[in-house]
Structure 1
Amino acid sequence: MLGHTFVSFVDNVMVGQLGTAELAAVSLGNTFVFIAMALGIGFSTAITPLLAEADTSNNFKDGKSAFKHGLFLCTVLGIALFLVVLLAKPILYQMGQPLEVVDLAIPYLDLVAFSLVPLIIFQAFKQFSDGLSMTKYPMYSTILSNLVNVVLNYVLIFGKFGFPEMGLVGAAYGTLVARFVMLWHLWWILTKKERSRRFVTQIKFFVLDKLMLKKLIHLGAPSAMQMFFEVLIFTSAVWLSGLLGKNPQAANQIALNLSSMTFMVATGLSVAAMIRVGNQKGLHRYHELRRIAISIVFLAICMAMCFAILFAVFNEALPKLYVDYDDVVNFEDNMEVIKIASTLMLAAAIFQISDSIQVVILGALRGMQDVMMPTFITFVAYGLIGFPVSFFLGKEEAYGSFGIWMGLLAGLSSAAILLWIRFNYLTKALILKSSNLKQHGTT
């Protein structure tokens, strides 16, 4: 999961050497891509609990069916999201963003939008692999992808080794090629492993079962909306920052990129919760299900505290990675960006714990195949609590950029509390029901 965000981190650091306008353009362009990516990744998570349950039950037929239909839906969704992002480009000019930033963002967005197709298809293979507890193979592919991205960025952004100097567009080409490499590599690995070979080969792609499609859509659509609501509040922070100017927007992108990396670590734990909870659900071992989920939440809190300390201690040093101190022309802009970003890093430090709790609990609930109520909870937390706080406190006459991030804190904390209440209620109800059934069975 960290590998997805690290691609953006490399893009931001390298593009940041070109100037604050270029960094803000990456931020603005990626808002559309991140929203689309959240929908695709969220939808693909439906595959994992079904595979985990089928794996525990040794039901190869249902497992392969879940993967095949998930792969089909992710392919269709990837193409659809690419087209939607392309059609939505003109909206950039209607959002009150700096014109200089929008003009730079448009060509970057074209290529990065196309990279959604291999990325969402990759997610189908990744979620399948996770469901079989084969989590290291997607990791290998994302590592390779990041290496490819770094090399291509270097030669294409700055025009090294005889390649043309393409600037921002060079970063987009790097991302696009890296994601195709990532998809091919994971498919190749899974075809070589005995445990996964039967699932990923000899797929009758267009022979579809309506019941399985409905089941995946029933699980995947709410999960997609859960991620959509969370990513939307973060991307709204980018838009609101753009209303304050290109420097606040660039600073917001720095803080967002760094906090997204720690979020992806928590998301990895969320996947672990989804897999193990799905396993225990298949075995009807609800005491173990609850114990495992709570243990992973505790681990996430411990890691979040470490990240919070890191952000608080290095709140000024980390943003400096993104700017060029030798750029005399943009020196004043760079200093303002660092000043704003260092303040936002303190806000990011504060919400590390609530962000980690909410995403791990969401994973556990997906493992239990409980998706409708968590979707409503995320809508309330981010749409009705978080965004209004960001909107009113983020105005220039209020708290500016820091006020926007106070809204993020409010939304994440609300989500963590409400999702914990839901998880606590469901698991206790399952344990009680299981105990009652055993007692009746005994008598």
Structure 2
Amino acid sequence: MLLSAYTKEFRYNLKLSYPVILGMVGHSLIGLFDNIMVGQLGTAELAAVSLGNSFVFIAMSLGIGFSTAITPLVAEADGENNKANVKAALKHGLVLCTILGIALFGILLFAKPLMYLMKQPDEVVELAQPYLDMVAFSLIPLIIFQAFKQFADGLSETRYAMYATFLAVFLNILINYLLIFGIWVFPEMGIMGASIGTLLSRIAMVVFMWWLLQHKQKFHDYVTHYNFKDLHATVIKKIMKLGFPSALQMFFEVAIFTAAIWLSGVLGKNPQAANQIALNLSSMTFMVATGLSVAAMIRVGNQKGKQAYLELRRIAKSVFLLAFVLSVGFALFFFLFRNELPKLYLDQNDLKNLKDNTEVLSIASQLLLVASIFQITDALQVVALGALRGLQDVAVPTYITMVSYWFIGFPISFYFGLYTDFGSQGIWFGLLAGLSSAALFLYLRFNYSSNKLIQTQTTA
């Protein structure tokens, strides 16, 4: 097939994915500005936010991963022009996401004592505990928001979640500025001010998202007049069958990055702070790949509903190609600017912390060198996962992610990080190995599953 058969889809792929990309970048900007503002307080405060968020990220991965089950179900029903199934997917998804959000909040509260068992610096743990309480509670509105977002994505309307996220970014920056540093009549609360900013911005985000959808004719009937007493076990089981494997897939990936944070903490507060800087920067570009993954999930789900399997495969490959092109550009960017980017996070005029800041900048630069390499494989693995979710093929990919990250990646991170002179860079060698393995095997799985659908249709 000619290259133009794939490149001609780039425009529509970007049209679908750019609001998701900007929305996800918005989520990352919340973390970016949190880190930049908190970084002005000192490396211990920055490490505390990193440690607290490491717990939240694990729980968040389960909630967001579970909510992705809504998108392929809505996309498939939309492809079939079945409006009743679209509304059922949203209604049941909202109920399940709310329950899951509350459960994850409770689990995080009980998990707090684990911080003392993780060999983290005492001053970091003391700062991280109260910060975690507030940010953990913010998971409830965040996961409810995800249910609305995934529903809108499934209908190929990806820009509304972007609008809500932009509002959250603005509110988060404003509240952070007022409460972290005690501007005007507001109290100086340090990192607790950052946690309050996160909570309030996420509440505003879900309220605004619901208001937007309710006032749009296309969505109005789907998001109003619910009868939550009328729930069907078959729909719940279908969402859970897709949602829990998807949650585990995201959990396995996020957990290995979280393990990198914890391993860095064993090395000391400066390696942990450097890890947070590099992780925050690399997550910004990962959001682009995540947007393309959503585009793959939507378009594959639509074609599956239409049973147009040859077209499904061509469209999916066009997203793979676009992800590859963009990730090569990001790889070059990180490689060329690896020494300059970390300077955004620390006050280089702070003579009191000059030694610590210099060490953090040096380590972060080394980590960005590794990150420049795994930009490509990280993008390809998440797009392949999106395409597989569009096919509603989630069981085997879950095993692939588990093996890639925890049987291949983590042992390498553990050994090279703690038992060699590579230190923090050795931890990221494991991330590179895990992401590369996942990219290879997930692509092979999509190739197998899509070919199987075509062969079955041909022989029927």
Asked if Structure 1 and Structure 2 have the same fold, meaning a TM-score greater than 0.5 normalized by the shorter chain, the answer is: yes
1:55 has 2:73 as partner: no
Q: Secondary structure of the equivalent of 1:8?
A: helix
Q: Structure 2: which 5+ residue stretches go unaligned?
A: 1-23
Q: Distance in 2 between matches of 1:326 and 1:179?
A: 34
2:255 match: 232
Aligned counterpart for 1:148 among listed residues 159, 165, 171: 171
Structure 2 match to 1:44: 67
Q: Measure the CA separation in 2 of the matches of 1:62 and 1:94.
A: 47
197-206 vs 227-236, greater mean Cα deviation: 197-206
Amino acid at match of 1:162: V
In the alignment, what sits opposite 1:223? 246
Deviation of 1:421 after TM superposition, in Å, equals: 0.8
Give the TM-score taking structure 2 as reference length.
0.94
Within 5 Å, give how 1:128-139 maps onto structure 2.
128-139=151-162
Identity percentage over the alignment? 63
Task: Report the 3-state secondary structure (helix = DSSP H, G, I; strand = E; otherwise coil) of the residue aligned with 1:159.
Answer: coil
Task: Report the Cα offset of residue 398 of structure 1.
Answer: 3.3
8 Å CA contact 1:23–1:250 kept in 2: the answer is yes
Partner-residue secondary structure (3-state), 2:418: coil
The C-alpha deviation readout for 1:41-88, integer Å capped at 9, x for no partner, is 000000000000111111111111111000000000001001111110
Where 1:96 maps in the other structure, the secondary structure is coil
Give 1:68's aligned amino acid. K
The number of residues matched between the two structures is 437
**Aligned 1:308-319 pairs, distance under 5 A:** 308-319=331-342
Aligned equivalents of 2:430, 2:229: Cα separation in 1? 45
Q: Does 2:51 match 1:28?
A: yes
8 Å contact kept, 1:392–1:398: no
RMSD over aligned Cα atoms = 0.8
8 Å Cα contact 2:53-2:132 kept in structure 1: yes
Q: In the alignment, does 2:364 pair up with 1:360?
A: no
Letter in 2 for 1:260: S
1:405 partner SS: helix
CA distance, structure 2, for counterparts of residue 303 and residue 261 of structure 1: 13
Find 1:343's aligned residue among 360, 366, 384.
366
Is there any run of 5+ residues in structure 1 with no aligned partner, and where? 438-443
- Of residues 89, 94, 112, the one that matches 2:135 is 112
Given that 1:157 and 1:167 are in contact with CA atoms closer than 8 Å, whether structure 2 keeps it comes out as yes
Q: Following TM superposition, by how much is the alpha carbon of 1:9 offset from its aligned partner in structure 2, in angstroms?
A: 1.1
Measured after TM superposition, the shift of residue 2 of structure 1 is 2.1
The 5-angstrom pairing of residues 404-419 of structure 1 reads 404-419=427-442
Q: Please tell me the residue identity of whatever aligns with 1:138.
A: A
Letter in 2 for 1:237: A
User: Aligned partners of 2:238, 2:421: CA distance in 1, in Å?
Assistant: 47
Instruction: Give the whole-Å Cα distance in 1 for the aligned partners of 2:57 and 2:276.
Output: 12
Aligned counterparts, 1:160-171, within 5 A: 160-171=183-194
Aligned to 2:343: 320
Q: Which residue of 1 aligns with 2:401?
A: 378
Deviation at 1:233, TM superposition (A): 0.4
The corresponding residue for 2:42 is: 19
**Partner Cα separation in structure 1 for residue 250 and residue 269 of structure 2:** 27
Residue 329 of structure 1: aligned partner: 352
1:396 CA drift (Å): 5.4
CA deviation string 1:95-126 (max 9, x = no partner): 00001111110111110001000000000000
- Contact kept, 8 Å, 2:420 with 2:426, in 1: the verdict is no
**TM-score, normalised by the number of residues in structure 1:** 0.98
Question: Is the 8 Å Cα contact of residues 244 and 396 (structure 1) preserved in structure 2?
Answer: no
Q: In structure 1, how many angstroms separate the alpha carbons of the residues matched to 2:362 and 2:449?
A: 45
Which letter maps to 2:245? P
Q: Which amino acid aligns with 2:196?
A: Y
Partner of 2:320: 297
- Cα distance in 2 for partners of 1:39, 1:134 equals 24
Q: The residue matched to 1:4 in structure 2 has which SS?
A: helix
Q: Secondary structure at the match of 1:217?
A: helix
